[in-house]
Structure 1
Amino acid sequence: MDIQLLTQRIPVGISQCAVGDPVRFNGGHKHSKVCTQLLSRCFELHPYCPEVAIGLGVPRPPIHLIVSDRLRAVGRDDPGMDVTDALEDYADRIAPQVAQLRGFILMQKSPSCGLRTTPHFKADGPDTLAHGAGLFAARLREHFPHLPLEEVGRLNASDIRENFLTRVFAYDAWHRYVEPDPRPGRVIDFYAAYKYLLLAHHQKLTRELGQFVSDVRALTPAQFAFEVRGRIMEILAHLANRKDRTNALMHSQGHLNEFLSREERAELAQLIEDYRQGLKPLSAVLTMLRHYLPRSPHQFIHSQVLLAAEPAELGLCDFR
């Protein structure tokens, strides 16, 4: 599998209020400059507002979620107004459109779009029982369990933004490389290309995935592809840390050592150690690894996505 840098914007869904459209219940918006000015450099944003789409209008009576026989979306001031089925039916109707997206950015705390922060209230009082997903977001997750999802507000944090970008890039790459021809061989090639990036996110889960991939005959090709994609997306959902990244960088160095002089090996090892201690940025190590990469004739190390341009190097992590 050849590493390919981003050449066109990736289609990603987004809550419509986050792009600045006045579609909230009070006629306002929640414009996110991080999304429209930064992430739009690599994402083609497709806005959706479930509550407007089901005919609630702007402005509209607010709704909230209550826990009764099931989670329901009802009017905050008029409990007789129940739009539960309408919101879920809307998610079902647009599923073919969402299937073409490679991620979805959702408005936090929204009874329709919240991902993890939406209050779930008691049916007989004002107390909050829990916080979780809104009805539209939950339905999306049912239809597309591996689709990268994130809340607008959390994307203000550079590490979470980098993680979401990494997941979207991987999900898009899967659909370009594996989805048209999901034979086990192509699935294994994809896993192999992502191996060191996966190690940078979670070493234990990556080792378990490696063991799973080695027993390809245990499942049908479709089941195997679905399971591997799910595990890859699960691993990438963990934030990469300095310790695991250092381990992945050292693995990469191991493939190059025989092609380096003693002085070059020492310089690279010291640079990786400086990164581990927080003295040098990741980009410095990646630049040096890429500099030595042409010396190796081995396709495995050339295919490693870890050594491709990362979100920070594309200028997608720092925003002022």
Structure 2
Amino acid sequence: MSQTETNKITIGVSACLLGQNVRFDGGHKRAPYCTDELVNFFEFEPVCPEMAIGMGAPRKSIRQVKDGDVILLQSGDGKLDVTAEMKAFCDMKVEHLGHLGGYLLCAKSPTCGMERVLEYKPGTNNATKSGTGVFAKALMDRYPELPVEETGRLHDMVLRENFFTRVYAYNDWQQLKADGLTKHKLVQFHSRYKYLLMAHNQKLYRELGPMVANLGDDFARQADDYFRMFMQTLKHHASRRNHTSTLQHIQGYFKRALSKQQKAELTDAILEYREGLQPLLVPITLINHYLREYPNEYIKDQVYLKPHPQELKLRYGY
């Protein structure tokens, strides 16, 4: 199944971001982008670790306390400690989340924050923004390739596009594995992602090629190693320079088909994108237009041209 077809991918999400009243103060942190827009494209699976261990809402707030190398979850006065209960929940819950295609977390939460969570020194109000929510950490440790992001960071269009590119690519791989991964299918998968990988990180893209070319008897391990580097490559933000280089590579496939005027039109679109005068969508749209006029199956199959549904409007902003 193509990653751009209509079947909805399931994404885990902090329950408060969907407007559920599960916060310590009995409120929520509804993220309109999730509830008003993303809901049309994804199935959400909400989780609130603190509610899941029976803390209720409203409740006494908890925070991370770093005692040596140990992270404790305690109330500010230290009278409430839910460290053991939360660890038991995390150990149990993450084992049932292997079906997810991504996860959206609530920032600053002692359980769900992805980064910069406050870690307090025992018995003080002195803290550093050096922590990760305990549930978020358990999730990312268990599924290191799973695309994970905080909703607030999705206001940055580069971060937003990168996250959803990874979500659809991750889902594509999981579907491939579910259908039965073979060496031939892995080679085809890599071929379809050639230009997307090139746009994200050319050095890592060049390292992935030999991994595919040298698949041997230990295929399962090699496939896992390949996918680990594949997702690492996509995690790099695709730069304007790399996009320009990738577009010019694709342009080369049309050199015998396009008229002089069409070549000039495509060249201008790519250069205007490079200079920041046009969004990426402009040269991409023109290439797709020429593909309809002058079909090329290899280029048509490139995920780079449509890594996610156009309706998500992810290539308008840069």
Per the normalisation by structure 1, the TM-score is 0.91
Q: Secondary structure at the match of 2:264?
A: helix
Corresponding residue for residue 110 of structure 1: 109
Shift in alpha-carbon separation, 1:73–1:121, aligned structure 2, 3 A: same
Corresponding residue for residue 304 of structure 1: 302
Structure 1 letter corresponding to 2:280: L
Distance 2:278 2:316 in 1: 17
Corresponding residue for residue 180 of structure 1: 179
Distance 2:78 2:244 in 1: 54
1:44-193 pair list within 5 angstroms: 44-193=43-192
Q: Secondary structure at the match of 1:275?
A: helix
Which of 272, 276, 291 does residue 274 from structure 1 map onto?
A: 272
1:42-70 alpha-carbon deviations (Å, 9 max, x no partner)? 11111100000011111111111122243
Structure 2 letter corresponding to 1:262: K
Give the superposition deviation at 1:156: 2.1
Give the superposition deviation at 1:90: 1.6
1:275-290 pair list within 5 angstroms: 275-290=273-288
Shift in alpha-carbon separation, 1:255–1:179, aligned structure 2, 3 A: farther
Q: Is the 8 A contact 1:162 1:311 kept in 2?
A: no
Corresponding residue for residue 226 of structure 2: 228
Q: Secondary structure at the match of 2:107?
A: coil
1:21-40 alpha-carbon deviations (Å, 9 max, x no partner)? 11111111111001111221
Q: Is the 8 A contact 1:182 1:221 kept in 2?
A: no
1:243-262 pair list within 5 angstroms: 243-262=241-260
Q: Secondary structure at the match of 2:114?
A: coil
Corresponding residue for residue 261 of structure 2: 263
Give the superposition deviation at 1:315: 2.9
Shift in alpha-carbon separation, 1:77–1:271, aligned structure 2, 3 A: closer
1:73-108 alpha-carbon deviations (Å, 9 max, x no partner)? 332234253322322322232234311110010011
Structure 1 spans left out of the alignment, 5+ residues: none
Which of 275, 278, 289 does residue 291 from structure 1 map onto?
A: 289
Distance 1:214 1:278 in 2: 37
Per the normalisation by structure 2, the TM-score is 0.91
Q: Is the 8 A contact 1:290 1:307 kept in 2?
A: yes
1:287-314 alpha-carbon deviations (Å, 9 max, x no partner)? 2111222466654322100112645653
Distance 2:73 2:33 in 1: 32
Q: Is the 8 A contact 1:103 1:148 kept in 2?
A: yes
Report which stretch shifted further, 104-113 or 277-286. Answer: 277-286
Q: Secondary structure at the match of 1:150?
A: strand
Is 1:26 aligned to 2:21, yes or no?
no
Give the superposition deviation at 1:269: 1.5
Aligned length: 317
Q: CA RMSD in A?
A: 2.3
Q: Secondary structure at the match of 1:178?
A: helix
Q: Is the 8 A contact 2:16 2:23 kept in 1?
A: yes
Q: Is the 8 A contact 1:38 1:316 kept in 2?
A: no
Corresponding residue for residue 197 of structure 1: 196
Structure 2 spans left out of the alignment, 5+ residues: none
